[in-house]
Amino acid sequence: MNKSALLLAGLALAGCHRAVSTKSGSLPIGTSTPVAVVTPAGVKAANTSFAYLSGHGKVHFKRKDSDQSANFSLRIKRDSAIWLSGSLLGIEGVRALLTPDSVRVVNRLQKSYFAGDYAYLSQLLNVPVTYKQMQGILLGDYQAAPQGAVPVVKTEGDNQAVTFPQAPLVMEQLVSIATGRLQQLKVSESAAQRSLTVGYTDFQKPTGTDLPFAFTTNVLGQQGGTESTSATLNYQKVEVGSGRLDFPFSVPKGYTKQSRVKK
């Protein structure tokens, strides 16, 4: 199983620097109220607000001649940690822990690990990414324009189309007029001819919230105008705001440290 399947599907795809505990912690009980985001440009979006999310399902990954499927588990503590695990036939192959300033990945199949910064994910996804961008991609949240950037907002059918620069990138988002939920995100860098497109479908209400959440996420990475990597993330179950959540991560003895991305 290629670790890119997890990271692409999770990875969708700026942050604080709080430490993350890998021990159990109690989650708040009750429902989560969505955060309404109304920008000066008139974009009306409904973003998630819960502190914790857990989910599991299947991911299908395609790259060149590689076509693979695996099971995955995802856990998020907002603004603090993103935990991913991928397995095949009940055997874990890859585990990743992302924090606002670090990326750690263990590949049990190759007995190797990586510990570093977001240059790793930026190289893997072919576009520069940060923790907050990855968190927003996984949660399907609208990402507001940075200070000084002026969004161009147009109505396209049932959606608001929002475009703005975020040097060296261009961000394009489609937001549902009816629900405020993000339908598509495209991050592109024209100078390098590369882009990452994330589409959200199959909206359902997870346990713990009335806010619709995309149970299917499609990720497409392109380099030089041609398809390079794609992944489809299908959730079977998503829960927010209940239970207990751990972020276990360790590197077994004897594993080799990986210094760069091996795609």
Residue 51 has pLDDT above 80, yes or no: yes
Pairing of strands 256-257, 112-116: parallel
pLDDT value for 243: 58
User: 211 exposed, middle or buried (CB, 10 Å; 0-12, 13-18, 19+)?
Assistant: buried
Residue 7 has pLDDT above 60, yes or no: no
Residue 151 has pLDDT above 80, yes or no: yes
Residue 2 has pLDDT above 50, yes or no: no
Q: What does the alpha-carbon distance between residue 78 and residue 128 come to, in Å, rounded to a whole number?
A: 21
Q: Residue 148 has which token pair?
A: 């000084």
Residue 48 has pLDDT above 60, yes or no: yes
Q: Residue 88 has which token pair?
A: 């095949």
Q: What does the alpha-carbon distance between residue 124 and residue 139 come to, in Å, rounded to a whole number?
A: 20
**What is the reported pTM?**
0.81
**263 contacts 125 by C-beta, under 8 angstroms:** no
Which pLDDT band, with edges at 50, 70 and 90, does 262 fall under? Answer: low
Mean pLDDT of 77-106: 90
Mean pLDDT of 147-165: 92
In percent, how much of the chain has pLDDT > 90?
A: 44
Residue 78 has pLDDT above 80, yes or no: yes
3-14+35-241 under CATH 2.50.20.10, yes or no: yes
Going from the C-alpha of 13 to that of each of 95, 165, 185, 257, the distances in angstroms are: 16, 18, 10, 24
Which pLDDT band, with edges at 50, 70 and 90, does 39 fall under? Answer: low
Q: Residue 170 has which token pair?
A: 């261009």
Residue 108 has pLDDT above 50, yes or no: yes
Q: What does the alpha-carbon distance between residue 120 and residue 10 come to, in Å, rounded to a whole number?
A: 14
In percent, how much of the chain has pLDDT > 70?
A: 79
Cis omega (within 30 of 0) on the bond before 206? no
Q: Which conformational region is residue 64 in: left (phi greater than 0), alpha (psi within -120 to 50 degrees), or beta?
A: left
Mean pLDDT of 29-53: 71
* Residue scoring higher pLDDT (225 or 177): 177
Q: What is the pLDDT of residues 241-255, one digit of tens each?
A: 755 788 999 999 999
The least confident of 29-33, 151-155, 197-201 is: 29-33
Mean pLDDT of 221-230: 74
pLDDT value for 195: 83
Residue 76 has pLDDT above 80, yes or no: yes
- Between vectors from CA 77 to CA 73 and to CA 79, what angle results, nearest 5°? 130
pLDDT value for 106: 92
**117 contacts 22 by C-beta, under 8 angstroms:** no
For the chain, the average pLDDT equals: 80
Q: What does the alpha-carbon distance between residue 160 and residue 101 come to, in Å, rounded to a whole number?
A: 32
Residue 9 has pLDDT above 60, yes or no: no
Helix (H) or strand (E) holding 52: strand 52-63
pLDDT value for 147: 85
**133 contacts 124 by C-beta, under 8 angstroms:** no
Phi, psi of 152 (to 5 degrees): -100, 120
Residue 25 has pLDDT above 60, yes or no: no
